[in-house]
Amino acid sequence: MINKLAELELEEAMEATEKADTENDKFTINDLGGANWAFRKLSAMEQKRKEIKELANKEIERIREWQEQETKGLDNSKEFFEGLLVKYFARQKEVDPKFKLSTPYGKVATRKQQPKWVYDDEKIIEWLRTNDPELIRIKEEPSKEDIKKKYTIVGNNVVTENGEIVEGITIEERPESITIKVEV
C-alpha cells in the first residue's frame, strides 16, 4: 500500500490534471523546484500503478488456482468417457472397417495421416555431402556485429580501412532519445 505522503501527491496530481483539462490551463515547469514537484507526482503515480498491478496479479493467480481446481475433476471425467468411446469405436471398427460413430451429441472418426519424417540433421547432412550434395541448403547472411567492428562510419557511409565505401549499408542519424526515470 502506498504511503500517506504518496497518496496526497497522487490526489494533488489528479486534481491538477482535472483542473488543467477543464480550464484549458497549461502547466509549465520553470525551475528545478517545479521539476521536482512533477517527479513527486510521477513517483506517486508509479507507486499506485505498482500497487494496482500487484493486487490484480494476486487476484488473477487466485482465480487461476480456482479454475484449475474446478476443471481438474472435469478433465479426469472427460478422459474417462473419451477412453470408453475410443474402446467402443475400436471394437466396432474390427467388426466393420467402415463403421462410423455419430450421435446428435458428437462423433468419433478416424483420419489417415501421412507418415512423419524424423530427421537427424547431422547424419543426413553427412550422408548428403557424399551422395546428394545439391540437397544441402546453405544460408548466407552478413555478420552485422563483425561488420560494425571491422569498418568505420564516414558521413552517411561505411568505409574500409582503405577508404573504400562498403555497398549495401547506409547510415541514418537518429535524434537523441529522452528517457524519464521516476524513482519509487
Distance CA 41, CA 49 (A): 12
pLDDT of res. 132? 93
Provide the residue type at 81 as one letter: F
CB contact at 8 A, 40 and 7? no
pLDDT at residue 22, rounded to an integer = 63
- Supply the pLDDT for residue 12: 83
Cα four-point dihedral sign 49, 54, 56, 60: positive
- Give me the numbers of helices (H) and strands (E) for the chain, helices first please: 4, 5
CA distance 45 to 27: 18
What is the DSSP-derived secondary structure letter of residue 163?
Answer: S
- Domain boundaries along the sequence of the chain: 4-108, 121-170
Residues of the chain under the 70 pLDDT cut = 21-26
Contact between residue 35 and residue 29 where contact means Cβ atoms under 8 Å apart: yes
